[in-house]
Amino acid sequence: MASEGIANDHSSVWRFHDQTPWPTGSSSGLVPEADHDLTESYHGVKNFVVHPDFSVTRPPFELVAPNSEFVNGVACKDVTIDEEIDLWVRIYVPETVKSSAKKLPVILFFHGGGFVCLSPHARLIHDYCESVCRSTDSLLVSVNYRKAPDYRIPTQYEDAFTALNFLRSQARLQRELEEVGSSAADSRPEALQLNLGGDAKSSEPWLRSHADFDRCYYMGDSAGGNLVHHLSVRALSEDLRPLRVRGQILVQPGFGGATRTPSELYWAFESSLSLRAIDLFWKLALPVDAQRSHPACHVFPKLEEMVELKVALPDTLLVIGGRDPLQDWEKLYYDTQQRSCTNIRLLMYDDAIHGFNMNPSNLWTAPFLLELGRFIGSSEAVSTASA
Q: What is the pLDDT of residues 53-94, one digit of tens each?
A: 888 999 888 999 999 999 899 999 999 999 999 999 999 999
Calpha distance 30→101 (Å, rounded) = 57
Q: Is 349 helix (H, G, I), strand (E, B) or coil?
A: strand
Burial class from Cβ neighbours inside 10 Å (0-12, 13-18, 19+) for residue 274 reads buried
- Asked if 153 and 285 count as a contact pair (C-beta separation under 8 A), the reply is yes
Q: What is the pLDDT of residues 252-294, one digit of tens each?
A: 999 999 999 999 999 999 888 999 999 999 999 999 999 999 9
- Asked if 319 and 347 count as a contact pair (C-beta separation under 8 A), the reply is yes
User: Sorting pLDDT into bands at 50, 70 and 90, what band is 201?
Assistant: low
* The pLDDT value given to residue 270: 85
* The pLDDT value given to residue 182: 54
Calpha distance 248→236 (Å, rounded) = 13
**Helix, strand and coil percent figures for the chain, each rounded to 5:** 40, 20, 45
More confident residue, 382 or 13: 382
Query: Letter for the amino acid at 216?
Result: C
* The pLDDT value given to residue 177: 86
Q: List 221's β-bridge partners, or say none.
A: 251
Q: Is the pLDDT of residue 30 over 80?
A: no
Q: Which phi and psi angles does 203 have, rounded to 5°?
A: -80, 130
Q: Is 324 helix (H, G, I), strand (E, B) or coil?
A: coil
Region 120-145 average pLDDT: 98
Q: Is the pLDDT of residue 351 over 80?
A: yes
Q: What is the pLDDT of residues 136-159, one digit of tens each?
A: 999 999 999 999 999 999 999 999
Query: Letter for the amino acid at 247?
Result: G
* The pLDDT value given to residue 53: 84
pTM: 0.85
Q: Which CATH number fits domain 2-10+32-386: 3.40.50.720, 3.20.20.140, 3.40.50.1820, 1.20.1090.10?
A: 3.40.50.1820
- Asked if 292 and 257 count as a contact pair (C-beta separation under 8 A), the reply is yes
Query: Nearest to residue 244, comparing CAs of 386, 342, 340?
Result: 386
Distance from first CA to last CA of the chain, Å, rounded? Answer: 39
* The pLDDT value given to residue 14: 30
* The pLDDT value given to residue 183: 53
User: Sorting pLDDT into bands at 50, 70 and 90, what band is 46?
Assistant: confident
* The pLDDT value given to residue 190: 43
Q: Which phi and psi angles does 273 have, rounded to 5°?
A: -165, 100
Calpha distance 81→196 (Å, rounded) = 14
Region 14-39 average pLDDT: 33
